[in-house]
Structure 1
Amino acid sequence: MSDTGTLPIGVFDSGVGGLTVVRALMERLPLESITYFGDTARVPYGVKSVATIEHFTGQITDHLLNQGVKMLIIACNTMAAVASQVVKDKAGSIPVLDVIDAGARTAVLESRSRAIGVIGTPTTVNSNAYARRMHALDGGVRVYSQACPLFVPLVEEGWLEHEVTRLTAQEYLKPVLAENVDTLVLGCTHYPLIKPLVQDVVGPEVRLVDSAITVAEQAARKLAELGIANPGEHLPEYRYTVTDIPLRFQTIGERFLGRSLGRVEKVDW
């Protein structure tokens, strides 16, 4: 198993948002190498059909499996909502984790009142994936979902503490807070960047569940359970692969990652 231990963790997303998952993995598992794939040429996925999302997700999965990875993490809520089975079928014995399962498990475990809020993109919310997963874990939980379509462009604009973002959050969260939720899932990989602002809006009594952190914790447990954690004999390597390098990718990517991206490779399908 020692050879497997030195292989990287494969993380993928429709664009740049999944770098918040990479950041959480770097902090939780500093010895692990990571290969990140962002499908920046075809983002956003949210407006595409299920068949198209499944096809794109399958392509990315094949690419990462060919690179040689010991674990796959679906860092995109849209992919996780509609195409996780495609990834699992292709991965075979390689463990597959995703942000929806990780976030749902943590929310159910930590909610005291069993009233849970979920905020996400319209596609993620309309898929009902978080609610279905939570109800499978605990049939008695009440889940209140709210689409927040403006959060992604505001985060990518860098308006993390802007008054416009605060006012937008107050409007979006009104109906969720009216249900007296005690736990709120940040159901999009962009949202960790505005976590302090959201916490301020919902108040200290509402616990925020950051799916990037929860999936990193899940990864740590799974690596230990399978005996495939990196023994740390060599420094970890980080690779970033995208399908297009937009002008602002480096700036936005480094904001999400919290450090320099270094070299970014581009692949052509």
Structure 2
Amino acid sequence: MDAEIMKDPSFLEEAKRVARSKLEGIRKALAINHNVVNVEEYQTLENLVRYQELEEGKIMRRQNRTKWLKLGDASNKYFFAVLKAKQNAERTASLQIDDSNWLEDEEDIVEEVEGFFKDLYKQPDESTSQLRERKEVLEQLQKKVPLGMRTMLIRKPDELKLEAIVNLLAKEKSLGIDGLPVEVLLESWPWTKAACIKLLEMFWQNKRLSKKDVTGVIKLLPKNLEKHLLKNWRPITLLPFTYKIIGKLLAKWLKRVLPLLINDEQTGFVQV
């Protein structure tokens, strides 16, 4: 079947209705007797419904994107409605402290949230003995990065590698304090690459990023609809594009040497 027809909204709606109907029938049969169910057919229908929902989501995003491009840059009802809906989804009018205490004043809520996350992000105090023990452990490590790879890890990237890294950065993400989206950086690359190269040269020369480049804005996103509970808010850090570029670059290089340093049984959280 033609791929474009499969992505047509009317076709997707009808196909999803049929697939869901069959899927519901199989689920009812499964509740009665496990042996009468064709497992392969069940999995195929589940995957089909999931694919159709993903395609529907893509269509809706494209439609919303088109509407935003037409109306979003103007001072109109649509523009303010979009912003208002986003703001309402990411704020709470009250905060529950315990079983009997609630905060409703905005200043009190801000103070409580600030104190909570200050404690959460506070750097733990390490005693002299802990620091010494850590040093002793590191000195006992047998695996080392070969000299050739160490040279690779500290060498300055050229213009082509830098552009490739910028293209790998995630798109449509919230902005850091610099207010520069990745999309703008890519569109204006012929004019902005010189500034990016200069920033990277400063990093390689000083061996550290400036305070501005490591300053992030902590934004809280609700995990679910119970926004009155502080534990249901997830903090994310919005970082400047300089940090994102260097972080992506170093991560990509480190990925090549990690297999030499990490045992097979330690790779649970390492992308291979």
**TM-score scaled by structure 1?**
0.20
TM-score w.r.t. length of structure 2: 0.20
Larger radius of gyration: 2
Structure ranking higher in helix proportion: 2
* Higher relative strand content: 1
